[in-house]
Amino acid sequence: MDNVTHPNHYAGQADPLLIKVRGIFVTDCDSVNIECIQAMVNQMDSVDEIRGYLRGNAFKYQWRYRNKNGLEDLKKAKVYLNWQIDLEKAVSDYCQLSSVIGT
């Protein structure tokens, strides 16, 4: 290993499940444009962090909808719930595949 460009202490293994889950959020970005959710998810270190973020935002929008933005907030909550459903499906698919191939 080259200690200047590829030092061993910066090497690590990416969590394949985390990579799969992050892929849910980066399907429509390009090299120039990225949504805040995409940047945020890519900074999170675990599926549980992403799960908590999605659950928290869905809850927030449902909590406040009557006093703030009404139907718009419910639609936002739905977006976060749909993302959480996608996340849970990706986790389930990954776990099923892992058990089949024995990893």
Domain ranges of the chain: 18-101
Give me the pLDDT at residue 59, please.
97
CA atoms within 13 A on the CB side of 96: 6
Q: Which residues lie below 8 Å from residue 74, measured CB to CB, with a gap of 6+?
A: 61, 62, 65
Q: Which of the four pLDDT bands, split at 50, 70 and 90, describes residue 39?
A: confident
C-alpha–C-alpha distance, residues 41 and 20, integer Å? 12
Give me the pLDDT at residue 56, please.
97
Q: Rounded to two decimals, what is the model's pTM?
A: 0.75
| Whether residue 29 has pLDDT greater than 70 | no
Q: What are phi and psi of 11, to 5 degrees?
A: -85, 150
The mean per-residue pLDDT over the stretch 70-77 comes to 96
Give me the pLDDT at residue 27, please.
65
